[in-house]
Structure 1
Amino acid sequence: MRQVTTILFLLFFSQVFGQKWHLDDIDKSKEFKYKYTFTFENAEDSSSFIFKKKDTKSISTIQITDNKGDTVVYATIKVNDLENDTSLIILTSTEGLVKLELKPSKYNLEITSIGYDKFIFNFDIFENESFNLKVQLGLGPELGIYAIHSKAILSEPEILAIVNCVKENREVKYTKCNDIKRYFIMTQY
């Protein structure tokens, strides 16, 4: 019993190459009793930024693009003034640009846009300072959830092989990853 509990614990909390998977359900009344789920996280596509302060009191700019350099329009930027406990919410223009003037303070910036990772950045502005911030947003997790329905508990190497097969074949047809006598894969949204 202790060994089964340990195996289930490991299955619930395993992470594979940036791809999370876990044992989602056990229904002993079904032929395919075990249900594992996983998503693809786009771990190789993360956000990056360049932050440059200017020693002049002028308009600060924030430019938002994706990792291909394409403009991210209407991204939401929340500027939190940490010393004065105030917030400002701004949408980027059709050029992915925001211009603003900030008073000296400590700030927390949160940038969100559908389909992209959330970007969080903390910085200080002092008297007679402004900045230029260029952010390249990484892709967010895929919305699709994949489910492996199996007749028996799968080992980690078996799950890794299935995840890899789906990843390599999801653009065409990942049904070739099925071993219908042992398990099948479905997409959930």
Structure 2
Amino acid sequence: MNSILIPFSAGFALCAALIVAIGAQNLFVLRQGLLRQHVGPVVAFCIAADASLITLGVSGVAAFLRSMPQLTSALSLGGAGFLGWYGVQAFHRMARGEAVNADAGTRQRLGQVLATLAGFTFLNPHVYLDTVLLMGAAGATYPAPLRVHFIAGAASASACWFLLLGYGARLLQPVFARPLAWRVLDGLVGVTMLGMAAMLALPLLRFV
């Protein structure tokens, strides 16, 4: 039993440490939770994506990515453009300063929501750094029979976090009944997205 708990606990602790941070994906899930729009599919997508990427990393894909710097550069450029676009959209929402009613009829289609979430998940090289490279390298240190328990622990931490973020966001809805609260959130989103876009793009511009 101890041989199972050790990799499970290590996977849970490492994933929890990496995932609890203000980032593009987390802010998007928080916003969907506040809007109460497609929360279940959004949370399920994030959990499945994390589990899949961690599994790929533990399985040895990390070494492949290290040997493909061109792929990292392409992801960085695509991610910078995507994050920059979304950051500008957030500042536009902030400028309008409208409170968002979760019960209102203006709902995005599920496909549109998941497509945006996929951009935050797969166009951000930092996601691969955390899940595939760091988590993968840590999980690969265990013998093959124990790696599945490491992955299970990491996936459990991811599930706990995204369930809390998506469904716990509704506790903040009284605060976000005011336009000012949405302005602050959209301002935070805009700054975060543009800041991350700059971090991705600037290292590449040095070589242009």
TM above 0.5, one fold? Answer: no
Larger Rg: 1
Superposition TM-score tier, normalisation by shorter sequence: under 0.3
TM-score normalized with structure 2 length: 0.24
Q: Please identify which structure carries the higher strand content.
A: 1
